[in-house]
Structure 1
Amino acid sequence: MEALRQELLAVFDAEYRDHLRVVRDILAAGPLDGRGISEIFRRVHSLKGAARVVERADIETIAHALESRLFGLLDGQQSVTAEDLTAIGTAMDQIDARMQDVGEPPAEPEPGAVSPPAREEPADSYVQVPVSRLDALVGVVHDMMGIAERQERLWADLEDLTATAARRVGPATDPAVELARLTRALSALSRERGRIAGQADRAMMRLDEEVRAVTLVPAGTVFGSLTGMVRQIAREHGGGEVTVRLLGMEVRADRRVMQALRDPVIHLLRNAIIHGLESPARRQAEGKPAEPVLTLSVRMLGVRLLVSVSDDGRGPDLEAIAARAVRQGLMQPDDPRLPETLLGMVFAPGFSTRVAADRIAGRGMGLSVVAEAARALQGSVRMEAGSPWGTVVTMAVPVSRRQRTTLVVEAGEMTVGLPGRVIERLTRVRQADVRMVDGRACFALDRRRVAAGGGAGAAVLVPVAPLAAFLGQPDAALPVHDGALSVVVLGMADGGCCGFAVDRMREVRTLHISDAEAVGLDSELIPGVGWPRGDRPVFVLSPDTLLERWQKAGATGGHFAGADDAVPEGGGLAPRQVPTVLVVDDSITTRTLQKTILQTHGYDVLLATDGVEALSLLHRSSRRIDVIVTDVEMPRMDGFALLDAVRSDPRLSRIPVVLMTSRNEEADIRRGLEGGARAYVTKQGFEQGELLDIIRGVL
């Protein structure tokens, strides 16, 4: 009986969504006429009966009350009022909220307790498949049955040929003639076998594509019903009515991925209501629409699914976040309060800027749940200030949870896979071209061949480490085969890159990925296992975790085995060969001009829009920055403040700073030079030759 109940609940879940979608479409279409009232009544009546079957008395009660109200409108004697429309919409939202089970979020666990798992999708869930897709599947199956029949005929022809050849053997048989006859017959069978094999391969590819398409569902099937739930939460919170916008609901992705994101999205929407809603008076004073707007958008970026929740409220309170972070020991009171750093802290467990917890917020669990869900899908999450106001939180995860395009390599005794999305380049590096630079084994790589937009003739130094060192062999040496290294170059979030040397690159293939936790592996580094048919397992690595562990290990390079193979020092790979210049200016025109000039003369260039962004790059970039060229007048942090921050930081004080500004007052020039700037250039008399001479001089 329990199995039957679960199946009925799964069917009811799909049915209620369909009823709600139709009712809301009718309400959104405009004034209600008799046909619209009749259709809504029919839908509500069916919903009530279905709720009774699955013993959902709460849904049945709401539907019954609405049915009674609609019954009075059916004969047309009563006109439809605004109160009627509100009652219908509210009832739909109440039903949706109860079906979503969004009452009280999980309480914060006691220290050391295990967080409750996210709500699982029903085992016997149902999805809607277009008839055209089913027709395509039937067509493929029909083609495969035809191929199977031709295969049977081929075997029958081969058996006949064998039997005939056996009967014809005798003294009267001319061996040459018989051999020629058998050769012709076998050649014909071979050609037929080749045609059948080709058709079977094409049919299997089509079948694979069609089956994948069935597992991909539009975002609207998972997120489309959340509008009513959000409005209901806003009413319960006392915020009145809100406008909910859904964008990109036609985007298709793996159903299980979408379903795994559903609870995190609910957390984000709830968080936007609790922290983002403002009073009507404040909204009016700031020129915002009277009704708050929440936006849920879904889009594709390459093989990544981006799901964003944004509001038009007050935006992140950086001061409150910083104060909470200090209290929790996540940062020191005198640490730089960089926006991107602070906004990353809100995803820590137990983090909340809300003073007191109530029924639906303040326990600090919402955003940590979101971060954990994203990581479980081998994805990431970030928060940023909206434009021109509000907050945006974006989750980025792979489109498919089951299949992934993967580079399969051998490292030590393991066969591992690296997701193709992070691979910048595959290369062979001669052992003689590896040098020690700043304590790291590095090789030079032409940046133009790593990523589009690299400077003309610009080369970068890429540190290289043995991949096996992160797979249980900490003392592994760089693997050399035939005098060279096989290196996978991975791109980093800050624009830099690093290389991991492997024993062998095998192939690029689409793997079906299963959960690695089931086999007791390091699930942070190896979140999934692929099982190629007839081969040993492929341990699929998380590139984010791999890069994080590489950085925690000191971002060091590798070493060769044996004293005779020691990595030479310096040589032709001195880091000064390709200097990196950080250009800081809030004017995109000025940044573009300086970047063009510097890249044309062989420099590598990083860009920042103000001092805050520049400091973030200086602290987090894996690339060595040789000189800073900065404007003075900039928002958030000006050039003088940036100069002070660089000079007072022992890790950065060695970097020469060049001030380039339109401020040509003597007091400003004195302030800049006395503050530690190596040069002060005024834009009024700017000549590119002067800038190049100054940079060459400070280097």
Structure 2
Amino acid sequence: MTDIRKQLLAAFEAEHREHLDAIRSALDHAGRGEIDLTDVFRRAHSLKGAARAVDLPAVEEVAHQLEAVFWQVLEGEQSLDEPTIVTVRRNLDTIEDLVADLLKPQASQAPVQPAPVSATAPREPEPPLPKPDAAAETGGSAYLRVSAEQMEELSTSMHQLLTVLQANESLDDDLRQIELDSRGLRRSWDRLHEQMNASGVAPQEGFSLTRRIASSFAPRLRDFDQDLKGLLRRISALTRERRQSSWSIEQAARQIRDNIDRVSLVSAETVFGGFGQMVREIARKAGRDVDLRSIGLDIQADRQVLQALKDPVMHLLRNAVSHGAEPPEERIAKGKPERAEVTLELASRGGRLVISIRDDGRGPDLARIEQTAIERGLLQPRAPAHPPPMMDQLLGLVFTPGFSTAGEVDRLSGRGMGLSVVAEAARKLQGSVLLRPRYPHGTEVLLNVPFTAARQPLLLVEVEGRMLGLPAHAVERLLRLRTETLESVEGRPAARIEIGGQDIIVPVVALAALTGSPNAPLPIEAGHVKAVLVRHGSRTCALAVNAFHDVRTMLVSDVQAIGLNDMVSGTVLMEDEMPALVLSPDRLIEHWTRNEGRLAAGGLGLTGWAQEEERQARTILVVDDSITTRTLEKSILEAQGYEVILSVDGLDALHRLRSGEALIDLVIADVEMPRMDGFSLLQAIKADSRLSALPVILMTSRADPEDVRRGLDLGASAYITKQKFDQRELLATIGQVL
């Protein structure tokens, strides 16, 4: 039995016990009407999928029958009466016996037959279980069940340790400076010694006393000279050892952090898996026919992040049904399919988790939003001839606390809470939320959050003597603008910047003016303004600061201070143990939009949304475990106008391809990679009917003719060796393949 097979079986053993225990516990409460049928159905479905993944057809068949029964109960086609419960329990026992038979085989044990759970057509005999490898008894990986709270405490402690180690980096700089000072002292002593020798041999009479004094101190001077040399050697050795030790400790700590983070990750299926049934159920009660598509639920993220987003995503799905799904007759009159479609999609983009909830319904009612905003005092009534506010301004208002356009408060419309709960959840995770229309019809809400709740990459900037952090994902670029190039728009500074091929007039706003100093001027140094270009949706703004510092991955804590406005999303602890505020870029832009309404309405800083239908650039997935190679290939391809997505190994690439998070036109893969090599990735792509037509170029250091032939036989479109790498050859090959 292979190592991966052992690991899969060990994981399945832990998972199947969890599902069996949960179903049995639910059945214990069925008599009191307290059973959560949706959760029970999901667990039977997950058990079936897990059995299929480890190639246990007998277990898969029994789980499938359980899933069918629970579905019939959910649909009202069958009651969960006592005979059904007894039969279900018997089949749960059967699954347990089948798995036990595999993991702890007995020589004389016959295959266990599951009991039928309904009086349908007779079922064929179960296929015999595969003969287990004896190594499964002793060679399989061991799994330990640990509470989520303990994992969170362990993760937090690890991140705090890394913060302390990062703070100690200043000690290395201090030690290095001591070494430099010691070397400078040594050079000064050598020059002084030479001068003393020169004066000691002078022939003049006046120097005879100096010679006698020098000769009497000569032994002490030699001892001092030797001591100084020895001290310098020890300082140099200590500096080298400290540098090597710091590097080793940091690498070990990072490895532990990565391991802890991987253990803390769970599949989104565990949190969002039951939403499909929930949406269909509430839609049926409202007399609407809705089909929920779930994409990318196999993606993994921090359990804390997924749990924090569970209620907001559920609220957004309710809104998609309440505000988006028209009655069937209305959809038919508009030429739409009778059944409405709502899509929940999770994807990894730019190292962050992006959740899209979209529908094909009516789309945002801008007039209703404006009217509600006027009624709540968020907007002033306008004259009939006055143009309406910009669309992004109106759509941003829906996240205001208490804002709701629902005509009535009911279960479907989310009890009139509005979308502020969604915005608040995203803010606490140092993320953002964006609502926009879909074309030709429908609405989309995008949640952009980190995969882990603790550590975040931050750009540290200085503003009026304060250190502030901006999430790195929202920073488009850093700017150094000459003051003479700044333009004036209605008395406000702006800069002309090329963004995505468009020439955009972007407002230049002192960050201090948005964070407590309303009249703060632009900080100017040597005729230049330093600014951070940030973007939220289609709105872009340049935030002027006094100084840039560095980009660090830091432990971000929730806001504890009283009196801070909603632009502050968290705090971090600096080396001097002083806290620095982490700002929310989308709230900063929204604050500017609200306070400069006239300029915002004029389109200042506004860029157009790119339609998916207008996609022209080809997208290439680069798969390589070497960060150097990935970076090199990315720079070459982007310079030629290609869009590039990176994966660290074959398994990561396969997840990205199957998730559908992006339309991939070509895969360039290394061969020698951990977890899944290039040959295995190629085989998996060609074996998947949805991906088989995707061209793959293997680019590797393995230049043996057998390897080349194997790659081409497996279906590679080309095979390029790194030893004779020529970027012109790579680009020419890509041109031929595409």
C-alpha separation in 1, matches of 2:449 and 2:513: 27
User: What is the DSSP-based 3-state SS (H/G/I as helix, E as strand, rest coil) of the residue aligned with 1:300?
Assistant: strand
Which residue pairs with 1:88 in the alignment?
none
User: What is the DSSP-based 3-state SS (H/G/I as helix, E as strand, rest coil) of the residue aligned with 1:519?
Assistant: coil
Amino acid at match of 2:305: V
C-alpha separation in 1, matches of 2:573 and 2:581: 9
Amino acid at match of 2:257: D
C-alpha separation in 1, matches of 2:234 and 2:606: 73
- Listed as ranges, the matches of 1:214-613 within 5 Å are 214-239=263-288, 242-279=290-327, 291-316=339-364, 332=382, 334=384, 336=387, 343-361=395-413, 363-428=415-480, 433=484, 437-438=488-489, 440=491, 442=493, 447=497, 451-453=499-501, 464-481=508-525, 483-493=526-536, 498-516=541-559, 518-552=560-594, 554=596
C-alpha separation in 1, matches of 2:334 and 2:286: 22
User: What is the DSSP-based 3-state SS (H/G/I as helix, E as strand, rest coil) of the residue aligned with 2:342?
Assistant: strand
For residue 520 of structure 1, report the CA deviation from its aligned partner: 1.9
Contact 2:432 2:586 in 1 (8 A): no
Amino acid at match of 1:531: L
C-alpha separation in 1, matches of 2:529 and 2:66: 67
C-alpha separation in 2, matches of 1:21 and 1:41: 13
Contact 2:461 2:467 in 1 (8 A): yes
Unaligned runs of 5+ in 1: 1-7, 46-60, 86-122, 145-170, 558-578, 590-699
Say if 1:407 and 1:354 are closer, same or farther in 2 by CA, change over 3 A. closer
Which residue pairs with 2:248 in the alignment?
199
Which residue of 18, 41, 45 corresponds with 1:24? 45
Say if 1:551 and 1:287 are closer, same or farther in 2 by CA, change over 3 A. closer
Contact 1:306 1:395 in 2 (8 A): yes
Say if 1:417 and 1:264 are closer, same or farther in 2 by CA, change over 3 A. same
Say if 1:204 and 1:314 are closer, same or farther in 2 by CA, change over 3 A. same
Amino acid at match of 2:45: R
For residue 529 of structure 1, report the CA deviation from its aligned partner: 1.0
User: What is the DSSP-based 3-state SS (H/G/I as helix, E as strand, rest coil) of the residue aligned with 2:297?
Assistant: coil
C-alpha separation in 2, matches of 1:353 and 1:315: 13
- Listed as ranges, the matches of 1:144-159 within 5 Å are none
Is 2:257 the partner of 1:208? yes
User: What is the DSSP-based 3-state SS (H/G/I as helix, E as strand, rest coil) of the residue aligned with 2:409?
Assistant: coil
For residue 342 of structure 1, report the CA deviation from its aligned partner: 5.4
CA distances 1:46-87 after superposition (whole Å, capped 9, x unpaired): xxxxxxxxxxxxxxx9696752354698988868468999xx
Amino acid at match of 2:449: V
CA distances 1:421-463 after superposition (whole Å, capped 9, x unpaired): 34344344566x3777356474766x45xx45256xxxx7765
Contact 2:87 2:117 in 1 (8 A): no
Say if 1:223 and 1:196 are closer, same or farther in 2 by CA, change over 3 A. same
User: What is the DSSP-based 3-state SS (H/G/I as helix, E as strand, rest coil) of the residue aligned with 1:308?
Assistant: strand
Contact 1:464 1:500 in 2 (8 A): yes
For residue 273 of structure 1, report the CA deviation from its aligned partner: 3.0
Normalised by the length of structure 1, the TM-score is 0.51
C-alpha separation in 2, matches of 1:429 and 1:519: 35
Say if 1:83 and 1:264 are closer, same or farther in 2 by CA, change over 3 A. farther
Say if 1:40 and 1:303 are closer, same or farther in 2 by CA, change over 3 A. closer
For residue 512 of structure 1, report the CA deviation from its aligned partner: 1.4
Amino acid at match of 1:468: A
Say if 1:276 and 1:41 are closer, same or farther in 2 by CA, change over 3 A. same
User: What is the DSSP-based 3-state SS (H/G/I as helix, E as strand, rest coil) of the residue aligned with 1:515?
Assistant: coil
Say if 1:421 and 1:83 are closer, same or farther in 2 by CA, change over 3 A. farther
C-alpha separation in 2, matches of 1:341 and 1:238: 33
C-alpha separation in 2, matches of 1:476 and 1:183: 50
Say if 1:263 and 1:319 are closer, same or farther in 2 by CA, change over 3 A. same
For residue 465 of structure 1, report the CA deviation from its aligned partner: 4.6
Say if 1:345 and 1:67 are closer, same or farther in 2 by CA, change over 3 A. same
Say if 1:82 and 1:319 are closer, same or farther in 2 by CA, change over 3 A. farther
For residue 253 of structure 1, report the CA deviation from its aligned partner: 3.4
Which residue pairs with 1:52 in the alignment?
none
User: What is the DSSP-based 3-state SS (H/G/I as helix, E as strand, rest coil) of the residue aligned with 2:516?
Assistant: coil
Say if 1:179 and 1:531 are closer, same or farther in 2 by CA, change over 3 A. closer
C-alpha separation in 1, matches of 2:435 and 2:472: 26
User: What is the DSSP-based 3-state SS (H/G/I as helix, E as strand, rest coil) of the residue aligned with 1:262?
Assistant: helix
Amino acid at match of 1:421: H
Say if 1:84 and 1:530 are closer, same or farther in 2 by CA, change over 3 A. farther
Which residue pairs with 1:50 in the alignment?
none
CA distances 1:264-299 after superposition (whole Å, capped 9, x unpaired): 111122223334445556656666556543321112
Say if 1:512 and 1:281 are closer, same or farther in 2 by CA, change over 3 A. same
Amino acid at match of 2:551: V
Aligned sequence identity (%): 35
Say if 1:359 and 1:227 are closer, same or farther in 2 by CA, change over 3 A. closer
Contact 1:410 1:416 in 2 (8 A): yes
Which residue pairs with 1:648 in the alignment?
none
Identify the range of structure 1 (539-548 vs 385-394) with the bigger mean alpha-carbon deviation. 385-394
Amino acid at match of 1:542: S
C-alpha separation in 2, matches of 1:493 and 1:410: 22
C-alpha separation in 2, matches of 1:253 and 1:202: 23
For residue 245 of structure 1, report the CA deviation from its aligned partner: 1.9
CA distances 1:513-566 after superposition (whole Å, capped 9, x unpaired): 1122x1224231222111134442221222233334445554999xxxxxxxxx
Amino acid at match of 1:530: V
C-alpha separation in 2, matches of 1:267 and 1:83: 41
C-alpha separation in 1, matches of 2:68 and 2:117: 19
Amino acid at match of 1:473: S
For residue 262 of structure 1, report the CA deviation from its aligned partner: 0.8
Contact 1:295 1:309 in 2 (8 A): yes
User: What is the DSSP-based 3-state SS (H/G/I as helix, E as strand, rest coil) of the residue aligned with 1:228?
Assistant: helix
Contact 1:485 1:502 in 2 (8 A): no
Amino acid at match of 2:511: L
User: What is the DSSP-based 3-state SS (H/G/I as helix, E as strand, rest coil) of the residue aligned with 1:416?
Assistant: strand
Normalised by the length of structure 2, the TM-score is 0.49
C-alpha separation in 2, matches of 1:312 and 1:231: 16
C-alpha separation in 2, matches of 1:183 and 1:582: 60
Contact 1:348 1:367 in 2 (8 A): yes
- Listed as ranges, the matches of 1:40-59 within 5 Å are none
Identify the range of structure 1 (62-71 vs 229-238) with the bigger mean alpha-carbon deviation. 62-71
C-alpha separation in 1, matches of 2:519 and 2:589: 18
C-alpha separation in 2, matches of 1:494 and 1:79: 52
